[in-house]
Amino acid sequence: MESISLIGTKIGMTQIFNKQGSAIPVTVLQLGPCFITQIKNIDSDGYNAIQIGYLKVPTKNLSKPELGHLKKSGLTALKHLQEHQVNSCNEFKLGQNININELKIGDLIDISGKSIGKGFTGYQKRHNFSRGPMSHGSKNHRQPGSIGAGTTPGRVFPGKKMAGRMGSNKVTVKNLQIIDINTKEHLVIVKGSVPGKPGSIISIKRK
């Protein structure tokens, strides 16, 4: 069966010890169960894709158009929907359950999530700029300094690295190895860190 994406929740980070006694930083993820809510094919949509849904919620949490869309596949209210392109749609059917049974220990997966928002930050934190001198009468400790020339060009070029909003962006970490799997609780333990804070929604794609 063709491998597709899964949507899940980041539980948090911890550490485990291998046989040599070394501590390995790991992240615990709860993936699925997900359900196929829509199937797109070349004839009707111009490409092959599967839409999957995750996280059952009360009916009142969704709008009538959203509930109508899910009703076509005979599913209850699902909060998160995500589309994933596939080579062929012949192996899938509406309402099909997609879970972590396809994953195996040692597999490499790509994990996407929304990074933690840092708010409005300055130069040092956002762009790793060095600070100014801290002695000899210097008044430029964390200020930006000059940001452009004067008469020519008489403006600041677009894209100039300055203070601004940091974080809260989609980030993908590739090739994270699966350390352990608990199919009963839909838990997957991967080596390394994953974008977002505990409780945030993430998606994975098997290599």
Give the three-state DSSP class for 151: coil
Pair 56, 106 in one domain: yes
* Residues 64 and 140 occupy one common structural domain: no
Count of domains observed in the chain: 2
Please indicate, yes or no, whether residues 78 and 106 belong to a single structural domain of this protein: yes
**DSSP code for 197:** -
CB 107 within 8 A of CB 207: yes
Residues of the domain holding 132: 118-146+156-166
Q: Is residue 151 part of a domain?
A: no
- For the segment 142-182, what is each residue's pLDDT rounded down to a tens digit? 988 888 888 999 999 999 999 999 999 999 999 999 999 99
Q: H helices within the chain, ranges in order?
A: 42-45, 64-71, 123-127
Coil, strand, or helix at residue 134? coil
In a domain, 189, yes or no: yes
Residue 70 pLDDT level (bands cut at 50, 70, 90): very high
- Do 102 and 135 lie in one domain? The reply is no
pLDDT, tens digit, 9 for 90 and up, residues 15-57? 999 899 999 999 999 998 999 999 999 998 999 999 999 999 9
* Spatial separation of the C-alpha atoms in residues 201 and 171, rounded to whole Å: 12
Mean of the per-residue pLDDT values of the chain: 92
CATH code of the domain covering residue 193? 3.30.160.810
Cα separation, 157 vs 155, in Å, equals 6
68 has pLDDT over 80: yes
pLDDT band of residue 207 (cuts 50, 70, 90) is confident
* 197 and 102 both lie in a single domain: yes
Are residues 106 and 14 part of one domain? Answer: yes
On whether both 111 and 94 belong to a single domain, the answer is yes
Residue 3 is predicted with a pLDDT of 66
pLDDT of residue 76: 87
